[in-house]
Amino acid sequence: PGLGSEFISSIINRDYTMIMGTTIFLAALIIVMNLLVDIAYKIIDPRIQLK
């Protein structure tokens, strides 16, 4: 029950559509989380200047 086990089973079964979709989803999730961490870091530490 989870995205990781679903990803592994799609690799084993050579389900390329599922592999590409999961890869794009995880990449987008990482980008969004990185943006949220940067924004939170700016809020926590006021010395950070956004340019």
Decide if 32 is inside a domain: yes
Reported as a single tens digit per residue, the pLDDT across 1-30 is: 788 999 999 999 999 999 999 999 999 999
Which domain does 9 fall in, by range? 3-44
Helix (H) or strand (E) holding 19: helix 16-44
Residue 50, domain member (yes or no): no
DSSP H or E run through 47 = none
Task: Please state the rounded mean pLDDT for residues 21-49.
Answer: 92
Residue 49 falls within a domain, yes or no? no
What integer is the mean pLDDT of 39-46?
Answer: 89
The pLDDT assigned to 26 comes to 94
Full-model pTM: 0.74
| Total count of domains within the chain | 1
Residue 51 lies in a domain: no
Show Cβ contacts of residue 22 under 8 Å, excluding neighbours closer than 6 positions. Answer: 3, 6, 7, 10
The per-residue pLDDT for 47 is 87
pLDDT of residue 51: 72
